[in-house]
Amino acid sequence: MSGAGIPGVRRGIGAAIAVAAAMSLAACGTSGPAGSSGGASAKGLTMWALNDQTILAKSVDAYNKDHPDAKITLRLFANDDYKQKLRVAFGANQAPDIFFSWGGGALDDYVKAGKVDALTDARVDLLRFTPSVLKSATFDGQTYGVPANGLAPVVLYYNKKVFRSAGLQPPKTYDDLLTDVKKLKGAGVTPVSLAANSKWPTLMYLEYLLDREGGPDVFDRIAAGSAAGWKDASVTAANTRLQELAKAGAFGDNASSVSYDQGAATALLYTGKAGMELMGTWEYANIVKAAPDFAKNDLGYVAFPSLSGGKGDPKDIVGNPSNFLSLNSKSGNKSAALTYLKDYVLNDSQVDAYLAAGSVPPVNKLDAKLAAVSSADDKKWLTFVYDLVQNSPNFQLSWDQALPSDQADPLLTNVDKSFLRQITPERFGTAMSTAMSKAAQ
């Protein structure tokens, strides 16, 4: 939602610009491939990933340099509709040896269908990864994916210059957020940049609002298969607040015409046309690349606001703990695939490259590398992300990834309808409960 192999630790914002695209950690929605179809290769490996994963691509380059006679053929796709492309490939027995995913319910679908091999510590050195991150690719006690890029909690970015001009402070509470929205709107600034046309950015609000309202248990019940969970009062309350923000003008008049992949929502923030943007940590590198002076001087970031009277812990976060690489159970190149996953994915060189791009990789024993960051601005960002994850009681995987694929599309459709106030908050819960019940039949 970047180049790798860079020796040493963080090199400051200047280096981050050079490798910034790496940080674009597969934004959490659906989105469509821009490449040709793949499939297992008789000689060498095939691998699919998203086209913003340039540090990951460098790991393939390193592998290919060491294995010139059996290289990995890497195919990169645009974010939109990638999941659909992968489903079609598996259905036609054309899937790659190694494939990129978000973990969660969509990956579990493939696991239940017997299409993915379990990975063990002996095979891929799982103990090097942050345990909480591995949970998103662990089902029935077995792990089916190797973390492939940085931690990506969703945070609230803000434009310090815009806030200074309006006499505002970044919001700590939901009430603060509403106050900031009203004042920014009054100052002629779009309060919050939102790429609503892509739908999944809107979902981020509902994820946080539900967690703040009812705590993580509400969605945990839903993810465990409870269709009735969608009718929980906190789901209705979260949708009520989403609609309250929209009605207050938080997102301006044109949010539904803005798509994320074109970078327009990001540009509204750094050009001062919007005061805030809620987005994953991959956005930091996008901003550094597009507007380095803004990133250095006027970019601020905070955790999502707390909610007075809510049951959720304000330290809870949502987003993508990491993306994953998994092994096709039908691969004829499993030994080579395991070598790549163990020795080339998030190895020391990759870790350094992610840190240089402003991304905290989900590996253990990072304290020394973080302490060695020379740039004060970069160290502040990396430490903010690291502490956010370390101190969070719950790291909720994005709902459209946590749920099975046949529920993700109805979810995004109904989130958009709720945002547009085409359905009532109560109707959202009813519609999702019906969709889940139909999917279970």
Task: Quote the tokens at residue 78.
Answer: 């645009």
- Buried b / exposed e across 351-380, counting CB within 10 Å, b at 16+? bbbbbbbbbbbbbeebeebbeebebebbbe
List the chain pLDDT tens, one digit each, 441 residues.
322 222 222 223 333 433 333 334 444 433 333 333 344 444 699 999 998 899 999 999 999 999 999 999 999 998 767 888 999 999 999 999 999 999 988 899 999 999 999 999 999 999 999 888 898 899 999 999 999 999 999 999 999 999 999 999 999 999 999 999 999 999 999 999 999 999 999 999 999 999 999 999 999 999 989 999 999 999 999 999 999 999 999 999 999 999 998 899 999 999 999 999 999 998 998 999 999 999 999 999 999 999 999 999 999 999 988 999 999 999 999 999 999 999 999 999 999 999 988 889 999 888 889 998 888 888 999 999 989 988 898 899 999 989 988 899 999 999 999 999 999 999 999 999 999 999 888
| Residue type, position 345, single letter | V
* Phi, psi angles (nearest 5°) of residue 177: -60, -45
Task: Report CA dihedral (206, 211, 214, 218) to the nearest 10 degrees.
Answer: 90
Long-range contacts of 365-372 (CB under 8 A, 24+ apart): 369/9, 369/10, 372/9, 372/10
Domains recognised in the chain with CATH numbers:
13-150+321-394 (3.40.190.10), 152-318+404-440 (3.40.190.10)
Residue 355 to residue 362: CA distance in whole angstroms = 11
Task: State the pairing for strand pair 190-193/317-320.
Answer: unpaired
Closest by CA to 53, choosing from 72, 30, 77, is 77
For residue 355 the two structure tokens come to 């840190």
